[in-house]
Structure formats: structure tokens, C-alpha cells
Amino acid sequence: MNMTEPFTIAVDGPAAAGKGTISKAVAEHFGFAHLDTGLLYRAVGAKYLLGMDPAAAARALTAGDIEGSNLRGPEVAQAASKVAVVSEVRAALLDFQRSFARRAGGAVLDGRDIGTVICPQAEAKLFITARAEVRAQRRFSELVASGSMTSPEQVLADVRERDARDQNRAESPLKPAPDAMVIDTSDMSIKEAIHAAIAAVRSRR
């Protein structure tokens, strides 16, 4: 599906559902550029943890800020979810995301409100989800592998807290776009989930 005209694939879903891995694989399959929009909010969240005003941090964000190795920890993830409810932060990051989405050659963006707010006219929309318990176990395994000291119960509590905040925020709440293809990865292997996502995109061509 290589092309010179823009073709946007919007991928949304809650934390640890697999949307990042799936989005990267879909982008690679079709030869599209990929943007993990969550990194934008994580970069703002990291600056917020250092005492910077989140709106000011968003306005001053550079491409280099989303390449930091310090953006994957649970503390930054929670901070990202908190700053994402600030309307000034979302507004500051909107143009960056929309410009990326319409680049020539195609683009895959994954996040929380890509299909509903950032790119409502995207040619293909996916909503990747999984049961909270499954997502918590996946995240717990990642944290253990990275050496973090936590418990399955704490990770599940964090997942549910973040879900509630993302789904119930007044601006750009997490929800599937009306025309999104919903893929529940709870009982899928990653290979099966990627195959389902690629098939869903092809059905939109």
C-alpha cells in the first residue's frame, strides 16, 4: 500500500492493550510512518514531574524530547495521563499530530483520541482493547522484566485508575470512533492481533 497520497490509520485504545506493538507492525507492513502520540504526553509529563507548567512544556516540545529513554516508567505514564486532561496541553499538540497524519506516503498514529478528535477523517480507524486484568498482567510482566518493584494488585489498580481518568475526562475521552474496527486482544497472540489489524486496514482500501 505504498503511495504518495496521504492515508491515515488511527489506532486508539487503553494502556497495555497492544496498540503500540500493533501500530508499529502495521506501519512496517504498509511502509508508513509511525507516531506513538503517547510519547508526546509522556514527554510533557516528564517535564511536569520536574516542576514545569504542563501547558508551557507542551508548547516548547521538540522532536528530541520524545526520544528520551526516561519516558517509559510508570511514574511518567501516570503524569502523562494527568497532563493529558489539560485542554491547553491537548491544543498545543494538536497541530503536530495532524500534520504528521497527513504526510505523503501514509501514517499510523496511535493514542487515545486519534480517531475521534485528532484525525476524525482518517481512512482507517482501529480500537485495540483487552480486559483490564489481562492488560495489568502484561504491564506487570514488563515492569518485572525491567527490574521494577511492584505487585500485580498495584498494577491492576493503576490500570483501572488510568482507565477511569482517560474514559471520564471532559475533553477527548477515550472511546472508539463510531466507524472504528474494534479488536479485543485479550485472547489473541500478538501475531493474531497484528494479522487482524492488517486485515481491518485492507478492508478500508
Q: Which residues are annotated as a binding site?
A: 13-21
Question: Three-class SS of residue 15?
Answer: coil
Count of other CB atoms within 10 angstroms of residue 76: 20
Angle between helices 38-49 and 74-83 (to 10 degrees): 100
- Name the binding residues for ATP: 13-21
What residues have CB less than 8 Å from 10, skipping those under 6 apart? Answer: 101, 109, 114, 115, 118, 119, 122, 124, 125, 126, 177, 180
Cα distance between residue 163 and residue 157, in whole Å: 10
What residues have CB less than 8 Å from 42, skipping those under 6 apart? Answer: 66, 71, 72, 76, 77, 79, 80
Residues 76 and 69: beta-carbon distance below 8 Å: no
